[in-house]
Amino acid sequence: MIETLALSASNTNSNLKTYIICPGFIYGCGEDIFYDYFKMAWLQDPMKLPIAGDGKNFLPTIHIKDLVGCIKRIIEKKPAIKYIFAVDKSKNKSLKNIMKSISKCVGNSQVENFELAKDKVENIPNFNEFTISVKAKTSKLFFDIKGEEEEEEDYLRRCYKWHCEVILNFL
C-alpha cells in the first residue's frame, strides 16, 4: 500500500521522482543481523554455530555500503525501473552456506542444524528472520555494458564498484 502511494506520488508532482528499493538483509558497518553469529563463532560458544532448520532457505543480502552506492546510482542515473532489488551477487545465498562461511572464517568451521521446534530455537538469534526464503536477483541497475566505441578506462570509471559483491564466499 505505502509502495503504491510512493510510486503514484510522482504522478501528482512532476518534480518528484520516486523509487522503491528492496534491500536484502543489510550487514556491514554495525548492522547487527549477523553480529551474534560472528560473536558465537569467534568465542566458539556454542561450539557449533546454530542453523535454524535445514538451512536450505535463501537469504538475500547486501552490504550497507553497496546499498548506499545503489541509492547514489539511482540519483545519478534516474532509471526507468521504479522497483529495485538491492542484493549482492552471491551465488549460494542459503542460510547454511552463510553460517558455514561465518564459522569457517572466524570460528572452528562447525555448524549444527536445529529442528524448528519452539523449545529448541529460543536461543537462536534472528530466528524468525532467518526462516524466510527469498530468491532475488541483483537489479540490472548494478550491471554495466561497455559501449562499442567506449574506451576501457572510461568504461571502468563509470562501472558500479561493489564494496562487497558477494557475502562470505569462502566455501
Instruction: Note the pLDDT of residue 140.
Output: 87
Identify the H or E element spanning 83.
strand 83-86
Query: To the nearest whole number, what is the mean pLDDT of the chain?
Result: 87
pLDDT of 170 > 50? The answer is no
**Residue 73, domain extent:** 20-139
pLDDT band at 119 (very low <50, low <70, confident <90, very high): low
Specify the number of domains making up the chain: 1
Residue 161 located in a structural domain: no
Instruction: Note the pLDDT of residue 84.
Output: 93
- The tens digit of pLDDT for each residue in 9-32 reads 888 888 888 999 999 999 888 778
Helices 95-106/35-43 angle, 10° precision: 40
As a residue count, the chain comes to 171
Residue 169 located in a structural domain: no
Residue 166 located in a structural domain: no
- Residue predicted with more confidence, 76 or 165: 76
3-state SS, residue 94? strand
Residue 134 located in a structural domain: yes
Residue 144 located in a structural domain: no
Q: In the chain, pLDDT over 70 holds for what percent of residues? A: 94
CA distance 121 to 167: 24
pLDDT of 133 > 80? The answer is yes
Residue 154 located in a structural domain: no
Residue 38 located in a structural domain: yes
Residue 7 located in a structural domain: no
- The tens digit of pLDDT for each residue in 51-107 reads 888 899 999 999 999 999 999 999 998 999 999 999 998 888 899 999 999 999 899
